[in-house]
Amino acid sequence: MSAMYVVQSFQAKKGKLQPDSPQQAQNTNHARRMAERLSAHKALVVAFMREGNEKTGDFEDARLIAAYGDVPEEIMDMPRV
pLDDT, position 77: 96
Residue 54 lies in a domain: yes
Residue 25 lies in a domain: yes
Q: What is the pTM of this model?
A: 0.92
Residue 81 lies in a domain: no
Calpha distance 57→74 (Å, rounded): 24
Residue range(s) defining the domain that contains residue 20: 2-76
Name the β-bridge partners of 31.
Answer: none
pLDDT, position 1: 84
List pLDDT tens digits, range 5-29. 999 999 999 989 999 999 999 999 9
Quickly state the pLDDT bin for 4 (edges 50, 70, 90).
very high
Calpha distance 51→54 (Å, rounded): 9
The phi, psi pair for 36, rounded to 5°, reads -65, -40
What is the number of domains present in the chain?
1
15 or 49: which carries more pLDDT confidence?
49
